[in-house]
Amino acid sequence: MPFMEGLAYDETDHTWTTNEETFQKLVRIMRQECAFPDTASGVYLLATDESVVFLRGVNSVETDGETRVNAYTVFEIGSVTKTFTAAAVLQLWEQGKLNLDDPLGKYFPEYEKGAEITIRQLLHMQSGLRREFFPDEALEKDPVLMKKYYTDGFSDEELLAALFEAELGFVPGTKYEYSNVNYTLLAMIIEKVTGESYGVYIREHIFSVCEMEHSYCMEPGKLTSVPESVLEGTYPFDFEDVFPTGYMSDLRTARGAGDIYSCAADLLSFDRALTSGKLLSQESLDEMFNTEGGYGCGWMKVGRREPAYLHSGGTPSYMSHNLYCQTKRYGNLYLIILNPTVRNPSHAESIMKDLLMNY
């Protein structure tokens, strides 16, 4: 595979690594963290702007039942989608097609509280809107509603009607609170501004620019990974009744917030294009990585040393992590972890913590 050209392959643990001496400490960290088959599964990639440092597919195969997961295996990336949505909004801001201080009411005039909330507040999770279009407790207690929400789908009109009837959780702009709704509303705004569907915009203006040939937006059925069953007791209902395929089959309610499928190689292409200025201007990047309020635009600041930013994602059967570090020794570092399971989230956290403490 082209992605692995120039790397050394160790068939004992199916690992691809660089031979460059500069990166051997990082290689050792990654080898150690991926050496536990009871906790590790999926694809683990560490790279810089110029080099792939470490790549391993662990304890999982593709849908053909034989091919080990690899740099091109397609996973659900969940909320890592938000970074793409934020990039799209900032592109439109650069083009003068919207203003970050535009009120929500400009795009949804029927919303009485729309004058109080801005696009900037949606991007930075400071809107006061609740986490989901329907209250979390309602979804958790009602399997029929949960199934309709994630598989059968609601119309935009139904989603907005439910949201517009709800009270705000706090005065917009006064605090940070994570909300999937914020980013689905941003996807709807992208559609209103461009006249294109959100999926088409992302494919034409981000995937294409970044040469992401194994990535899909709003296109269920493109997975080449196999989701493991979720932990028993994770959900207060029979998981298979709600998610018979093991994953979401209708992504309208996750549009802009968790609807993208991608692979490690493509996510690296996106990260490199983003940080190099290929997708956004420096002014937009400054806005994107401004985490003073607790959340940037699709990124959260982590670690205490050199600047590091993360967004993770979780779906009913998948977990994903996209970590970007600015280091003096190695330049930009990118860690991408794609797991076909919701088991052992502390495993990925351990890798990131170890990396952040030792680079």
As averages over each run of 10 residues, the pLDDT of the chain (359 residues) reads 82 89 93 77 94 92 91 95 98 98 97 96 97 85 79 84 93 96 97 97 98 92 80 56 57 85 97 98 98 96 87 89 94 94 73 81
Q: Are 258 and 85 in contact (CB under 8 A)?
A: no
Tell me phi and psi for residue 257, to 5 degrees: -115, -25
In our burial notation (b when 16+ CB lie closer than 10 A, e otherwise), range 329-338 reads ebebbbbbbb
What CA dihedral angle connects 197, 336, 289 and 185, to 10 degrees? 30
pLDDT for 244 equals: 59
pLDDT for 182 equals: 97
Angular region, 218: left φ>0, alpha ψ -120 to 50, beta rest: left
d(CA 226, CA 341): 9
Whole-prediction pTM: 0.93
pLDDT for 207 equals: 98
The alpha-carbon radius of gyration of the chain (Å, integer) is 20
pLDDT for 315 equals: 84
Longest dimension (CA), the chain: 62
d(CA 180, CA 178): 7
Q: Are 68 and 58 in contact (CB under 8 A)?
A: no
Q: Are 44 and 58 in contact (CB under 8 A)?
A: yes
Tell me which amino acid residue 203 is: R
Q: Which long-range contacts (CB under 8 A, 24 or more apart) does 56-60 make?
A: 56/13, 56/14, 56/15, 56/16, 56/30, 57/14, 58/14, 58/34, 60/225, 60/226, 60/228, 60/340
Report helix, strand or coil for 9.
strand
What the block records as the tokens of 342 is 């919701």
pLDDT for 59 equals: 85
Crossing angle for the helix pair 81-94 and 264-276, nearest 10 degrees? 30
